[in-house]
Amino acid sequence: MAGKVALLLWAQTLGLAGAQTTQLLVQPPWRPAVLWDRVTLTCQGSGTAGATTWYKDGKRWGQEGSDRLIVTESGTYTCDRPDTGRSPPVTVSKGVLVLQVPARALLEGDTVTLRCRSWWNNTLRDVYFYHEEKQLRGPQDETELSLSPLQLSHSGRYRCQGYVSYVVSQWRESERVTVTVHRIPPSGVSLSVQPPGGQVALGDRLVLSCTVAMGTGPLSFSWHREGSGALLGTGPQLELPHVGDNASGQYRCRVRDGDSVAQSDPLNVTVLVPVANATITPGPLAHQVHTGDNVTLRCSVQVGSAPVTFTWLHNGQELARGPLLELGDIDVGHSGTYQCVATNQLGQDGHRVFRAPSPELALEVTPGSAWLTVAAGVGGALLFLLLLVGVIVAWHRWHRVAARKQQER
């Protein structure tokens, strides 16, 4: 029973229950099509191609028996199959100025480009674009308008205007075309990710897989990230061999069956950016050391994949490589700032995946060892005490001599 329910949901989502309808495909895939393109119409429906009947402007057109038609005249075309009926219409225009929209279902989040085209692609300048009579852009010589990412608010009627170099330069306005943006209910499509949980280190490999519960083919897949109108992939799997720090976000898979579409729930991917840490041993107070001491600097990375290479910089100049930097019998010349840089290289092409510098560490080297310094301090204190005792003894002697002389007098 569960299998039947899943099949029914899938059929409703992708429109398979309504797949028994005649469809008219246009190539190049734009609407309205334009006569100066080599336009080919293909009729799809049940039964054999020999049962196809073509109509132009409501009247029979051309010979029966072929499911393909090369258009030579402008007009509105439909096709008919006995078991599935008549197709939706396709218009072929010969207007001097035509605004074209992609001939497919327009879905929320897609990248869509509208094209303002002049007769036989003559020069077009000072182009304006309008949405529901609100000016969007112009005047510019740019003849395309991008709607990305597509939102429900983009639905409505569009037109363009501009000067066309047709015999003489003429101001022309296109017919209005309707853009309808569809919201896709998530159903029937699921995502899985490697590594599990969708957390991946910067530069690592990320694989997303799209699974269809049930359905019939042929199916086409597309991958999208929320907030980005770019198409990421067109297969059941999306592989990013070296993810960048801008790859975080919510990913979706969309599955098409003709004009019907289903999409997955969003899957969150988080790219963990490596952070390098540098420490000095011994202890945090060892930033001030003395000549002759032994100091070890350690570098580690919180996130990342092997092989990780550590490079040590002294006052900005490369000094050594490796996670440990041993400074034995140091002198005043070792003073300065130290920093380690962690990098990761994957692949035969030596592609650098990440470069993570640590905070700088300041090392101050004082002349003389700590023991000599302590000894010098102690010796100074003892000398001061001896001098003080000598002064006191001399004062007492002088006082006694002075008192004896007074008595003798």
Per residue in 101-147, pLDDT (tens digit) is 999 888 877 789 999 999 999 999 999 999 999 999 889 999 999 99
Q: pTM for the full model?
A: 0.50
For 311, other C-beta atoms within 10 Å of its C-beta total: 17
Shared-domain flag, residues 268 and 318:
no
Shared-domain flag, residues 147 and 196:
no
What pLDDT shows up at residue 371? 42
Shared-domain flag, residues 205 and 347:
no
Strands (E), 15-96: 23-27, 30-31, 33-34, 40-44, 53-56, 59-60, 68-70, 75-81, 85-86, 90-93
Shared-domain flag, residues 260 and 341:
no
As a 3-state breakdown, the chain gives helix, strand, coil percent values, each rounded to 5, of 20, 50, 35
Shared-domain flag, residues 125 and 38:
yes
Shared-domain flag, residues 52 and 173:
yes
Tell which of 127, 152, 181 closes a domain: 181
In this predicted model, which residue has the larger pLDDT, 3 or 183?
A: 183
Shared-domain flag, residues 112 and 196:
no
Shared-domain flag, residues 266 and 281:
no
Query: 183 by DSSP, 3-state: which?
Result: coil
| Domain containing residue 295 | 276-366
Does residue 390 belong to any structural domain of this protein? no
Shared-domain flag, residues 151 and 291:
no
Residues 159 and 176: their CA atoms lie apart, in Å, by 5
Tell which of 136, 154, 181 closes a domain: 181
Shared-domain flag, residues 22 and 163:
yes
Least confident of 37-51, 99-113, 348-362: 348-362
Per residue in 208-264, pLDDT (tens digit) is 999 887 555 567 888 988 877 778 888 889 999 888 888 899 999 988 776 677 888
Whether pLDDT at 190 is above 90: no
Token couple for 108: 């929320």
Helix ranges (H only) for 125-259 are none
Does residue 385 belong to any structural domain of this protein? no
Which CATH number is 350's domain given?
A: 2.60.40.10
Per residue in 50-92, pLDDT (tens digit) is 889 999 999 998 767 788 999 999 999 999 988 888 999 999 9
Overall number of domains in the chain: 3
C-alpha distances in angstroms, 56 versus 44, 61, 69, 81, 177? 17, 6, 11, 15, 20
